[in-house]
Each structure stands twice: as structure tokens, then as C-alpha cells.
Amino acid sequence: MSRNPLPKLPGWVSRPPELTPELNVLEGGGPAGPDISILVDPANDVAYKMIGGAYGVLGAEVLGQYVPRALDPQRWGIYVREAGVAWLCSRVATQIYRYPKLQDDLPSRLARGVAAHHYVHLAVEVAVTATRGHTSYLDLLAEHAPRHEPSEELLAELLFRSEVVLGLEPETRRATEAAVDGVMRQTPEARSAHAGHEEPTVVDLVNAGLSLNMTLSDFRFRDADRPVPQYLVLEPHLPDLVASAIRKSLLG
């Protein structure tokens, strides 16, 4: 049986990154959070240079990525970038300085949020593949390059935010939501005609846009019924202090 050639994919999806220890954002992590001052230090400008400018164009696709199973059956899964977490910390931490307990947990929370975003792409690939065949998700990626289908991205952003604020006390939650919203306002999704919609409405948009019949639970990382391959992307350009703070926090 001959295989069709792969469609032309956005650059960030072309291959899994190097240097990727396994990650478990729901259970892993170090015993204590890092000194958050390291992450808001000017040394962290490297993360800003690596992430800041591209975020407004690519949104969460620069904070991590989902490598589709159809693209790489061995190394598919969710990849969270060290620089992505460092950059998010530097954006959010300065706005929640009144909540020191939250700062301890911040890198883990933000990494979980990035993973929750990319789990949406995983869930869509599973659903699309079941009805339309092995490489159908790659066709969709090529069609919507440089990103994913717009309502799929919008849902992924809403679930990123839900995951970051999960379980916080009301006052802390409001402050964190405000900080995260400030960051997310830079994404292409924030300019979408459907921005401001709630999760269930956006699930309907995804189903309509991609001819699927999925529920909100199908998109939730925490509701996954099988282990999800996850990796931390180590980045040699990040200053040692910043990188080790992130690694200690996420890998233990």
C-alpha cells in the first residue's frame, strides 16, 4: 500500500525537539518552589527574547508544542518549553507578589496550563483520526498553518487558563486570572470574533468547525483515560540559574 506524502506542515511541528526529559505535570515536581525572584530577574530577558515577540503571532505554540502521533509514532506527545515557563513566570509573578504561596507553585501551575493547552490538540487528533484516517490531523494542520484550527486554539487557551487557576482561593484566583488574561490578550485568539465565549460554547464551535461530536470532558487533560506522553524541552540558551529553577520545580 502506498502512503500519501505528508502535507506541508507549520515549521514548529516539523520534528520533536532534542533534550527532552520526561515530565508529569500532574504529579511530578520538586518539594519546594524556586526563588521566584530568579524568574523575574533581568537575566530572564533571554526567555523574553526567545518567547516574547513570537507569542503575539503564535500564542501557546511558542510555549510548547504538540507533536502529532501521525507525525512521529515514537516521540509524539506534549512538549513544554523551559523558556516558555520562564517567560510566563516573569509575566505573571510581578502581578501576584501579594500571594507568596502561589509564587512557590507558579512554575508547576504554568507548565500544567501549557500542557492542558496542548492536550486539546492531542484530543482533536484522536477524534479526527478515528473518523477520517491516520494522517487527517496533519492535513488539518497544513490547512490552518501557522497554527491550529482557530476554535481549537481558543478552546485550548480557555483550558490553559482554567488549569492555571484551578483550586485557588477566590481572591488569589481573581488576581491570577487577571494576570493570565493580561498575557493571553497578546494571542491571536484574543482578537478572535469568539473571544469572551465560555468553554461549552467554544466546544460547540470546535465540533461545528471540525465536524466532530466531542464533549468538554474529552478536551480536559485531567480527564484523560490513558497516560499522556509529556516532555520538558531543555534550552541551552537559558541562563543556568533560570533553567535550574525551572527544572527543580518541574522535575524534582
Least separation, in Å, of the C-beta of 14 and Zn ion? 16
Instruction: Provide the phi-psi class of 149: left if phi over 0, else alpha when psi is between -120 and 50, else beta.
Output: beta
The pattern of x and - marking residues 44 through 83 that bind Zn ion according to CB under 5 A reads: ----------------x-----------------------
Least separation, in Å, of the C-beta of 55 and Zn ion? 12
Q: Which C-beta is closer to Zn ion: that of 153 or that of 163? A: 153
Least separation, in Å, of the C-beta of 160 and Zn ion? 9
Q: Which C-beta is closer to Zn ion: that of 106 or that of 156? A: 156
Binding to Zn ion by residue 13, rule CB under 5 A? no
Neighbours of 120 (CB within 10 A): 27
Least separation, in Å, of the C-beta of 150 and Zn ion? 10
Give the integer Cα–Cα distance in Å for 57 and 62: 9
Q: Which C-beta is closer to Zn ion: that of 39 or that of 123? A: 123
Grid coordinates 490552518 are at which residue? 144
Binding to Zn ion by residue 92, rule CB under 5 A? no
End-to-end CA distance of the chain: 46
Binding to Zn ion by residue 234, rule CB under 5 A? no
Residue 153's identity, in one-letter code, is E
Give the integer Cα–Cα distance in Å for 202 and 2: 38
Q: Which C-beta is closer to Zn ion: that of 63 or that of 102? A: 63
The span of 49-57, 126-134, 151-159, 228-236 binding Zn ion (CB under 5 A) equals 151-159
CB-based closest residue to Zn ion: 156
Give the integer Cα–Cα distance in Å for 51 and 148: 19
Binding to Zn ion by residue 156, rule CB under 5 A? yes
Residue 71's identity, in one-letter code, is L
Q: Which C-beta is closer to Zn ion: that of 156 or that of 233? A: 156
Instruction: Provide the phi-psi class of 9: left if phi over 0, else alpha when psi is between -120 and 50, else beta.
Output: beta
Give the integer Cα–Cα distance in Å for 65 and 134: 20
Residues that bind Zn ion (CB under 5 A): 60, 153, 156
